[in-house]
Amino acid sequence: MGEGDTFVAWYVDGRVLVVAVTFLIILPLCLLKNLGYLGYTSGFSLTCMVFFLIVVIYKKFQLSCPFLDRNATDATFSNFSFGTEGCRPKYVTFNSKSVYALPTIAFAFVCHPSVLPIYSELKDPSQKRMQMVTKISFFAMFVMYFLTAIFGYLTFYESVQSDLLHKYQNKDDILVLTVRVAVIIAVILTVPVLFFTVRSSIFQLARKNKFHLCQHIVVTLVLLMIINLLVIFIPSMKDIFGVVGTTSANMLIFILPSSLYLKITHQDGSKLIQRIWASLFLALGILFSMVSIPLVIYDWVH
């Protein structure tokens, strides 16, 4: 190594940690045959995110504005701390990063591929029971997202970052370190649930209805290798949220459901009101794509 190079131990190398976590934790969970076995890990993951929300709310009342930038070398206040103008909330803010807001929101509420696997794992599956599960899940996630966004913004105002945890700069704060670990655990334990849906979809497309252990293991390993390559070589999750949010998430939330409904009910005259709403939903999805995709591309170019 040259004189300007700094030595980085292998155990703090992010790429090594990603591969290690994948094969030591995620792989065994992904190899489980049924989704029901992941209920306990999903519950613990949700508990970690609730803990994260509680810490964000607590920090809002603990940190004062303006606040001291503890990472500054001259122990002065950060640029955000000069004056109190930056401590006033703005109801509407638009900048170069705002183009990722709608795609990220769309990506956050994409649960459609998991509906059928979850339905099949219900104790007494029925449409009414599945609707109840869906409504409770959506409402709970909306409340968590909303409170996290509100209290995160009201803590740092204009200096808030896309990764909220990066703004808690005191490295000696045990509570912040604990919540970082909790978020990491939550993300790790969420992967197998989403992975189960992807693998099930692949088997359905291939018309593989019977369980074969070798195929199960091979598909799992191949998908995990692809995921690891994406995680290692894509520098920012913002780009993934932007692409997925404007394309597949938009298709799954707006365009495909409304299009299929219009196709199914095109000869049913009693569904006129529902068809109007579906048409508006379809138009909203098309408008979403026409606005978001050019803005994301423009942000990449510039």
Give the domain extent around 282: 236-301
> Do 197 and 245 have their domain in common?
no
Which pLDDT does position 155 carry in this prediction? 86
Retrieve residue 177's tokens. 């370190």
Residue 71 resides in a domain: no
Residue type, 161: Q
Residues 6+ apart with CB under 8 A from 102: 245, 288, 291, 292
Which is higher by pLDDT, 70 or 129?
A: 129
Q: Of the residues 233, 249, 269, which one is the last residue of a structural domain?
A: 233
pLDDT band at 153 (very low <50, low <70, confident <90, very high): confident
CB-CB contact of 147 with 288 (8 Å):
no
> Do 184 and 287 have their domain in common?
no
Residue 7 resides in a domain: yes
Which pLDDT does position 182 carry in this prediction? 92
The residue among 84, 65, 241, 245 whose CA lies nearest residue 153 is 65
pLDDT band at 5 (very low <50, low <70, confident <90, very high): low
For the cut 90, the answer to whether the pLDDT of residue 101 exceeds it is: no
For the cut 80, the answer to whether the pLDDT of residue 66 exceeds it is: no
> Do 20 and 35 have their domain in common?
yes
- Could you report the per-residue pLDDT of 113-137, keeping only the tens digit for each? 777 777 877 888 888 888 898 889 8
Query: What is the distance between the alpha carbons of residues 180 and 194, in angstroms, rounded to a whole number?
Result: 22
Average pLDDT score over the chain: 80
Q: Of the residues 233, 261, 292, which one is the last residue of a structural domain?
A: 233
Residue 78 resides in a domain: no
b/e 140-174 (16+ beta carbons within 10 angstroms → b)? eeeeeeeebeebbbbbbbebbeeebeebbeeeebe
> Do 35 and 121 have their domain in common?
yes
- Give the DSSP letter of residue 13: -
For the cut 90, the answer to whether the pLDDT of residue 51 exceeds it is: yes
> Do 293 and 177 have their domain in common?
no
Which is higher by pLDDT, 183 or 72?
A: 183
State what percent of residues in the chain have pLDDT above 90.
9
Which pLDDT does position 54 carry in this prediction? 93
Which is higher by pLDDT, 94 or 25?
A: 25
Which pLDDT does position 221 carry in this prediction? 92
For the cut 80, the answer to whether the pLDDT of residue 52 exceeds it is: yes
What is the C-alpha radius of gyration for the chain, rounded to an integer number of angstroms?
22
Residue 73 resides in a domain: no
Residue 287 resides in a domain: yes
Specify which of 11-15, 110-114, 163-167, 222-226 reaches the highest per-range mean pLDDT. Answer: 222-226
pLDDT band at 67 (very low <50, low <70, confident <90, very high): low
> Do 186 and 245 have their domain in common?
no
Residue 180 resides in a domain: yes
What is the pTM assigned to this prediction?
0.75
Which pLDDT does position 85 carry in this prediction? 64
Residue 77 resides in a domain: no
> Do 168 and 228 have their domain in common?
yes
pLDDT band at 84 (very low <50, low <70, confident <90, very high): low
> Do 43 and 167 have their domain in common?
yes
> Do 183 and 251 have their domain in common?
no
Which is higher by pLDDT, 214 or 5?
A: 214
How many domains does one find in the chain? 2
> Do 190 and 92 have their domain in common?
yes
> Do 52 and 179 have their domain in common?
yes
Query: What is the distance between the alpha carbons of residues 102 and 182, in angstroms, rounded to a whole number?
Result: 26
Residue 221 resides in a domain: yes
Residues 6+ apart with CB under 8 A from 166: none
> Do 221 and 259 have their domain in common?
no
Q: Of the residues 211, 233, 255, which one is the last residue of a structural domain?
A: 233
The residue among 40, 194, 185, 26 whose CA lies nearest residue 118 is 194
For the cut 50, the answer to whether the pLDDT of residue 245 exceeds it is: yes
